[in-house]
Structure 1
């Protein structure tokens, strides 16, 4: 199996050449565009680590499903989805268009930037630092990695250049979808995106969801219902405006990030983490997507 996986990684690594590393957030442009790593962790305890699995990168939008889990734990499903919707947009992940033009002005789903900011605003805490610390502790718990930390340089770049995200937050505040401090919501959002992980960390979080919200020691952290919500939104919205095509080609609940990460979940079987910093024109890791398509086809992993 390990040789088979090595072959898939090397076959798809060349596809990075036609992608581009994100450069609109200072620091992301330093990534090696030809890097490609794959980590698979199965429910029976088997782990495969191939390629660039130990390189740290910022989690970016792969953080969104995790933040959503804690928001639901804090407030319940009904309240959370009164602030953010459940539907795909068909627009780019950082588009503000639908916020302005839809009748309700409600962000369409928690996997796009607007919806993720509204979700980050729901994390409980007496101030922004406490809110983020609770979220970071949650990340550490379900990844089973207590060493996760924020890349402060990337956070600074996020907060200095994220003007469109700030505009979305103020717009949503005006429409009643953010109840608390805009500054707190943005602090949590920018810092959650700046948490450093590896492909192995993403695979462990994917395995947590594959088990329906249960850690390797048997502790249940979220209900099966919450895990189901997360996996459903990942399959319908997790790959930005390429989610439909990805569902057809790959058929695995997944969430991508412009830092190069993809977290995938094969329910009841395995978690998969990919690192592939060269992106396509929709912001998805180009070699990583191709790798997952081959993996799903060869091992019959599609949930459909």
Structure 2
């Protein structure tokens, strides 16, 4: 048995007792009906010879939504290098993930690559010399390689649902296009963005896919994905920007780099140790998984993984 298994079983049991579970993202019709009682958790040690440990609904696939921005950014940095930062900033936004306010003040340059506007610019970078279908396949190929599963794909119904209802994302994209920060047609850029958000994975797959960020840019400690410097920078952005305008609270209560998505998933990275994934579809007021955030805090406390030092155990009844 994995040395993490008892901890994961305890976390899953504690989360099952939680009565306040948030609500799924209702503005994406295909996500609105997901059962909020679901919860999964998985931990993938840096050593790839040790398979991920998991508990709960860890093998149920869900729409990773904005967690995909980590993988999109990884590819974009390989394609564009540091020139990317002339088009996307590296600062926390302090605003909701789909806000247009700062774009107006900052002439179409998004604050960071993890808010929607920033990820749309990243999608534009990934489109260079490619069709939308090829750019989507590039992201899928990376994710499949990272998690070791060629069966990972996009949920076509979720992608279509986002395309029908994603008017705010169209507003963000059109504003940036007007400011000259998109190089391709808006609908092509959004096609890439929506399909990447619609990638469906389980907690076990997602934890395995994030392993390279815990292993200085390598899978299993040997196969290079990105440089150690870029892995460190992505982790830094996850810590400071990965939960939108709740990033400070996540750093305060959990203390590890993490990236959330409105599908209810959270990818966490403990450099040199492991990557971890949780999923529960009910969201809090900031658009992050309510139960998933509590589970991450409990995991960090019980393992001592917070990068800032020991945390109090937030488990119910303690």
Identify the TM-score tier after normalising by the shorter chain.
over 0.9
Q: Which residue of 2 aligns with 1:112?
A: 115
Q: 1:138 to 1:46 in 2, by over 3 A?
A: closer
Map Cα deviations across residues 62-103 of structure 1 (whole Å, 9 max, x no partner): 0011101101111112x1111111011111111111111x24
Are 1:54 and 2:53 matched, yes or no? Answer: no
Distance in 2 (alpha carbons) for counterparts of 1:228 and 1:201: 22
Distance in 2 (alpha carbons) for counterparts of 1:251 and 1:126: 38
Query: Aligned pair count?
Result: 302
Distance in 1 (alpha carbons) for counterparts of 2:54 and 2:7: 12
Map Cα deviations across residues 191-244 of structure 1 (whole Å, 9 max, x no partner): 000011010111012212100111127210111111111101100000111100
**Secondary structure of 2:169's aligned partner:** helix
**Secondary structure of 1:274's aligned partner:** strand
Matched-pair contact (CA < 8 Å) for 1:38–1:53: yes
TM-score (norm 2): 0.92
**Secondary structure of 2:208's aligned partner:** helix
Matched-pair contact (CA < 8 Å) for 1:83–1:178: no
Distance in 2 (alpha carbons) for counterparts of 1:281 and 1:48: 30
Distance in 2 (alpha carbons) for counterparts of 1:181 and 1:171: 12
Map Cα deviations across residues 259-284 of structure 1 (whole Å, 9 max, x no partner): 11100000000010111111101011
**Secondary structure of 1:20's aligned partner:** coil
Gaps of 5+ in 1: none
Are 1:278 and 2:302 matched, yes or no? Answer: no
Distance in 1 (alpha carbons) for counterparts of 2:210 and 2:143: 12
- How far off is 1:249 after superposition? 1.1
Are 1:23 and 2:11 matched, yes or no? Answer: no
**Secondary structure of 1:15's aligned partner:** coil
Distance in 2 (alpha carbons) for counterparts of 1:103 and 1:258: 26
Distance in 2 (alpha carbons) for counterparts of 1:287 and 1:170: 35
Alignment of 1:161-180 (within 5 A): 161-180=165-184
Matched-pair contact (CA < 8 Å) for 1:14–1:34: no
Map Cα deviations across residues 124-162 of structure 1 (whole Å, 9 max, x no partner): 343211121112111211222211111111110010100
**Secondary structure of 2:153's aligned partner:** coil
**Secondary structure of 2:29's aligned partner:** coil
Query: How big is the alpha-carbon RMSD for the aligned residues of Structure 1 and Structure 2?
Result: 1.4
Alignment of 1:1-304 (within 5 A): 1-15=4-18, 17-44=20-47, 45=50, 47-77=52-82, 79-100=83-104, 102-123=105-126, 124-216=128-220, 218-304=222-308
TM-score (norm 1): 0.96
Distance in 1 (alpha carbons) for counterparts of 2:193 and 2:259: 16
Distance in 1 (alpha carbons) for counterparts of 2:206 and 2:8: 17
Matched-pair contact (CA < 8 Å) for 1:213–1:221: yes
**Secondary structure of 1:230's aligned partner:** helix
